[in-house]
Amino acid sequence: MYDEDDLSLLDAEVELESPLDKIEPLTAESEVPKPDPEEMLPLLEHPQPQQRMLAARAFCDIEDARATPHLIRLLTDTCPLVRVSAAYGLGRNPSPDAVEPLINQLGRDWNGYVRKGVVWALGNCRDRRCLAPLANALRTDISAVRLWAASSLAQMAQIGYEAVVGAIPPLIEALVQDPVAAVRSNSAWAIGQLCRELPSNIVYATAIDALIQAFAEDKDLGVREDSKAALLGVGDPRGLQLIEILEQEGWF
């Protein structure tokens, strides 16, 4: 488990922000066209970290499969800003070849910003291999990474039934137990997305029960609202009935 206090690039005020939120935008999209991949590809191998970072960030905006092997290599770059840019670039250019390198980096990278980018990229890979490391990150990592891991687990809906079933338990655990309201909210949203892909079985019923519990009992208004939105999105009769009853009784 990672210590919330041991990451020099994270603090209590910014830890829930985007992986690239501390880096100025490459260009104003309305003023300058997207970078030219022919110019950016050689810079991925540039000896200066600043140039490698800028090139990796360019592939956060553009898609080009030729960048994938270079971005994979940059996941282990000595500069954390290069690594986070490479992770985010791989999220924009997902590839089966990137899954194992991303998983390996998630398990060893000391930098919270990098791990945030990695869990986002793993979600975008939409690969069954991503389920276990994302679930582990949701259970054990710092709050910023848990937040993104919850959202990424929603992508298991694109993989298949077994992946959805595997993602539900850690999300329910986070919805019920995570101390950070934003993580609980993201977990509620993700459960709602996954429930849409489930038949009416015990896994589905357990997930709906967790959303109902969060809607009725969570101390945070945002979590209750997100749980309500998830129930409304699924359209479960029990959830809809409870929402109607509680609102009629003036609970909210």
Residue 9 DSSP symbol: T
Report which residue type is found at 156: M
Tell me the C-alpha distance between 95 and 112, whole Å: 23
Check residue 241 and give its pLDDT: 86
Quick: pLDDT tens for 152-187: 999 999 999 999 999 999 999 999 999 999 999 999
Residue ranges in the chain modelled with pLDDT below 50: 4-14, 18-30
Residue-level pLDDT at 19: 45
Structural tokens at position 242 = 């409870």
Q: What pLDDT does residue 247 have?
A: 74
Q: Which pLDDT belongs to residue 202?
A: 95
Q: How far apart are CA 235 and CA 241, in angstroms?
A: 10
Q: How far is CA 176 from the centre of its chain?
A: 19
Rounded-to-integer distance, Cα 66 and Cα 51, Å? 18
- Residue/partner pairs of 236-245 with CB below 8 Å, 24 or more apart: 236/195, 236/208, 238/208, 238/212, 239/208, 239/211, 239/212, 239/215, 242/212, 242/215, 242/216, 243/215
What is the token pair recorded at 29? 């999209």
Give, in order, the Cα–Cα distances in Å from 14 to each of 17, 20, 161, 246: 6, 12, 35, 35
pLDDT recorded at residue 147: 97
pLDDT at 24: 45
Instruction: Return the structure tokens found at 196.
Output: 């849409």
